[in-house]
């Protein structure tokens, strides 16, 4: 029987399973993304003492998946850090949920090490104190950070029309069909952003005006779709 392992982790999503169980996608510090069965997690709050809630870093113990099960089996989860500021504003909470979805989808088939785990924790910590109207920029900041972790710095992606780096002209554009192009090749109706927005983190636009929420989310969708090679978008709160 496999040894139980222990690592800090954060829940990316929770899927109800059976009568009282949960299937969790955990982003762990030491073992990458782990799908784990949490028995009776819905039956008793005491079973995992808040360690399997959203927006909590927990020290988790689990038996890794093996020949008998494709899921790891969660043995314990002790909360070590929470992000209560996320619950102060609906915008922050929605952005936090979007961050978890983003991490889950981007990291599903990718190796995720300690620095990736820390990027997600750091993003939640930043979001906790972000002005609510800037919450979407924090999602963008995490998308950029994770794409850099995966070896796809967004500013270097090539424009599908001319082949130059999308950031080369100083303007990045998202076309109505969701494609990301350089500013020179952008068709009418494209949303334009300063390429400094893709240069590092959302910090770089803190001094500037806040781009419209829908525009920021379409930029995140264009970035992630480009890397996943399929159409991808965030589903958030009031969106359908």
Question: What is the C-alpha separation between 36 and 71, in angstroms, rounded?
Answer: 5
- Output the smallest distance, CB 125 to Zn ion, in A: 36
Does position 182 bind Zn ion by CB under 5 A? yes
150 versus 161: smaller Cβ distance to Zn ion: 161
Q: How wide is the angle at C-alpha 5 spanned by C-alphas 44 and 22, nearest 5°?
A: 30
Contact 32, 111 (CB under 8 A): yes
40 versus 158: smaller Cβ distance to Zn ion: 158
145 versus 185: smaller Cβ distance to Zn ion: 185
What residues pair up with 6 in beta bridges, in sequence order? Answer: 61
110 versus 161: smaller Cβ distance to Zn ion: 161
Q: Going by DSSP bridges, is the β-strand pair 33-38/72-82 parallel, antiparallel, or unpaired? A: parallel
123 versus 159: smaller Cβ distance to Zn ion: 159
Strands in 171-174's sheet, in edge-to-edge order, are 180-182, 171-174, 191-194
Does position 159 bind Zn ion by CB under 5 A? yes
Stretch that binds Zn ion, among 51-59, 87-95, 159-167, 204-212 (CB under 5 A): 159-167
Does position 20 bind Zn ion by CB under 5 A? no
- Output the smallest distance, CB 155 to Zn ion, in A: 13
Does position 101 bind Zn ion by CB under 5 A? no
The residue count for binding Zn ion (CB under 5 A) is 5
Interface residue with Zn ion among 161, 165, 210, 236 (CB under 5 A) is 161
Burial of 37 per CB tally in 10 Å (0-12, 13-18, 19+):
buried
Stretch that binds Zn ion, among 1-9, 30-38, 134-142, 184-192 (CB under 5 A): 184-192
Question: What is the C-alpha separation between 104 and 13, in angstroms, rounded?
Answer: 8
- Output the smallest distance, CB 206 to Zn ion, in A: 28
3-state secondary structure 115-177: HHHHHHHHHHHHHHHCCHHHHHHHHHHHHHHHHHHCCCCHHHCECCCCCCECCCCCEEEECCC
Q: What helix, strand, coil percent values describe the chain, rounded to 5?
A: 40, 25, 40
Does position 162 bind Zn ion by CB under 5 A? yes
Stretch that binds Zn ion, among 51-59, 94-102, 151-159, 215-223 (CB under 5 A): 151-159
Binding site for Zn ion (CB under 5 A): 159, 161-162, 182, 185
């Amino acid at each position: 029987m496999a040894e139980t392992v222990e690592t800090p982790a954060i829940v990316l999503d929770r899927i109800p399973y059976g009568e009282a169980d949960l299937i969790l996608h955990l982003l762990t510090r030491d073992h990458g993304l782990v799908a784990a069965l949490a028995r009776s997690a819905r039956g008793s709050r005491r079973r995992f003492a808040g360690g399997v809630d959203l927006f909590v870093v927990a020290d988790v113990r689990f038996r890794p998946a093996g020949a008998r099960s494709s899921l790891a089996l969660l043995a314990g989860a002790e909360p070590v850090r929470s992000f209560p500021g996320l619950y102060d504003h609906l915008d922050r909470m929605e952005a936090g949920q979007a961050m978890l979805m983003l991490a889950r989808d981007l990291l599903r088939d990718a190796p995720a090490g300690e620095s990736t785990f820390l990027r997600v924790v750091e993003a939640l910590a930043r979001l906790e104190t972000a002005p609510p109207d800037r919450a979407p920029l924090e999602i963008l900041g995490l998308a950029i950070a994770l794409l850099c972790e995966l070896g796809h710095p967004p500013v270097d992606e090539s424009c599908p029309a001319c082949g130059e780096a999308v950031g080369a002209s100083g303007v990045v554009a998202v076309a109505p069909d969701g494609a990301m192009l350089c500013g020179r090749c952008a068709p009418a109706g494209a949303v334009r952003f300063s390429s400094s927005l893709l240069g590092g983190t959302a910090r770089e636009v803190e001094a500037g005006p806040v781009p419209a929420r829908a525009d920021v989310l379409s930029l995140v969708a264009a970035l992630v779709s480009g890397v996943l090679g399929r159409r991808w978008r965030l589903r958030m709160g009031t969106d359908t």
